[in-house]
Amino acid sequence: MKTLFISTLILIASITGIQAQDAAAYQSPISTGYAPGFSGKSTMGDINFPDDFYGKWKIIFSHPADFTPVCTSEIIALAKLQDDFKKLNTALLVISTDGLNSHMEWVRSIESISIKGEAPVKVNFPLISDVDMSISKKYGILQTDGGKTYDRRTVFIINEENKIMAMFYYPDNIGRNVEEIKRTLIALQTSEKHDVLTPADWKPGDDVMIPSPATVNDAQKLGEKKNPDLYQAAWYMWFRKLN
């Protein structure tokens, strides 16, 4: 009886340990702090992140699987705007748990696809292979369905100092809006450069906002400065024109 009791305790401890490891491996996507560093093989050679992208903003774009319709549409959409991201000093990186050969064949296929008569795109950003899932575990983007483990449809926007500034998480069946990702990037860069806020539905060129005054008196003092670039909608809600 004593032996059986000890064996049971060992079994429970083992199961608990496995469950703890699984919980650590399949945690929710990280959304703040510094982006974890990693090395990997890609369609454009070896990648050392973030060292290879010093002084740049970065966007990490994870996807469930190569040769799938939604993911393919997303890579095409990303490629259509890749020059815009380059002008915004931003590097694009795509990652999944597929092998490097799969990535390379998929890129060849993507570069031959014409949708509604549009010219095929050229993919000028790396697709990183994470077969051992080591990178995906660091970012908490793994999910398991039907016994298969693969990456969530996730986006990380990372600044020059390698801090995660924004994170998007989409379900498997919904494609991402790349224009919205670009808009968010521009909003983040604008906020960082000018120390401002951006209101709902903000677009590049729109007026921005400034942090709220602490009190009504502070708001009155702000109004007394007669700054033509500032105007208010409420004492706590101030807009600013950007030249």
Tell me which residues are annotated as active site: 71
DSSP states of 70-86 as a string?
A: HHHHHHHHHHHTHHHHH
- Rounded Cα–Cα distance for residues 52 and 156 (Å): 17
DSSP states of 28-51 as a string?
A: PPP-SSBPPPEEEEETTEEEEETG
Residue 49 phi/psi, 5-degree rounding, is -105, 130
- Rounded Cα–Cα distance for residues 147 and 164 (Å): 31
Based on the number of CB atoms within 10 Å of its own CB, is 61 exposed (0-12), middle (13-18) or buried (19 or more)?
buried
